[in-house]
Structure 1
Amino acid sequence: MSLAGQNLKYLRKLRGLTQEEFATRLGIKRSLLGAYEEERADPRFEVLETVSDLFKVSLDELMRSDLSEQKGSYLAKRRAQKMAADKNEITFVPVKAAAGYLNGYADPEFIDELNTFTLPMLAPGNYRAFEIVGDSMMPTPSGSVIVGEKVDDMESVKNNQTYIVISRTEGVVYKRVMKNNRVKNKLTLVSDNPTYQPYTVNTDEVLELWQAQMILSKANVQTRWDVNQLAGLVSNLQEQVSSLKKKLN
Structure 2
Amino acid sequence: MYLNSNLKFLRKKKGLTQEALAEALTISRSKLAGYELTITPPLDAMVRISDFFKVSLDILVKEDLSSYSEYKLRELLETDQFLRGRKLRILATTVDEQGRELIEVVSQRAKASYLAGFSDPEYIAELPRFALPFLPMDKKHRVFQVDGDSMLPIPDGAWIVCEYVDDWTAIKDGERYVIVTEQDGVTFKIAYNKIKEEQKLLLCSANPIYVPFEIEIEQLREVWRYRLAMS
Q: Which bin holds the TM-score, normalised by the shorter protein?
A: 0.5 to 0.7
Q: For each residue in 1:8-41, what CA deviation from the matched residue of structure 2 results, as whole angstroms up to 9, or x when unmatched?
A: xxxxxxxxxxxxxxxxxxxxxxxxxxxxxxxxxx
Contact 1:88 1:119 in 2 (8 A): no
Consecutive unaligned residues of structure 1, counting only runs of 5 or more, are 1-82, 218-249
Q: For each residue in 1:72-117, what CA deviation from the matched residue of structure 2 results, as whole angstroms up to 9, or x when unmatched?
A: xxxxxxxxxxx9x944410001111111110100000000010101
For 1:179, the equivalent position in structure 2 comes to 193
Task: Quote the Cα distance in structure 2 between the aligned partners of 1:121 and 1:95.
Answer: 25
Counting aligned pairs with the same residue, the percent is 36
Aligned-partner SS, 1:96: coil
With over 3 angstroms needed to count, the CA separation of the structure-2 counterparts of 1:164 and 1:207, relative to structure 1, is same
Aligned-partner SS, 2:122: helix
Task: Quote the Cα distance in structure 2 between the aligned partners of 1:211 and 1:182.
Answer: 19
Task: Quote the Cα distance in structure 1 between the aligned partners of 2:161 and 2:186.
Answer: 13
Query: Residues 1-249 of structure 1 correspond to what in structure 2 (within 5 A)?
Result: 86-124=99-137, 125-180=139-194, 183-217=197-231
Q: CA deviation at 1:201?
A: 0.6
Consecutive unaligned residues of structure 2, counting only runs of 5 or more, are 1-95
Contact 2:195 2:201 in 1 (8 A): no
Q: How many residue pairs are counted as aligned between the two chains?
A: 134
Aligned-CA RMSD value: 1.8
Q: CA deviation at 1:182?
A: 6.6
Contact 2:178 2:187 in 1 (8 A): yes
Aligned-partner SS, 1:183: helix
Higher helix share: 1
Task: Quote the Cα distance in structure 2 between the aligned partners of 1:112 and 1:165.
Answer: 21
With over 3 angstroms needed to count, the CA separation of the structure-2 counterparts of 1:181 and 1:207, relative to structure 1, is closer
Task: Quote the Cα distance in structure 2 between the aligned partners of 1:173 and 1:86.
Answer: 30
For 2:84, the equivalent position in structure 1 comes to none
Contact 1:165 1:206 in 2 (8 A): yes
Q: Provide TM-score, normalisation by structure 2.
A: 0.55
Moved over 2 A (4+): 85-88, 180-184
- 1:113 maps to a residue whose letter is E
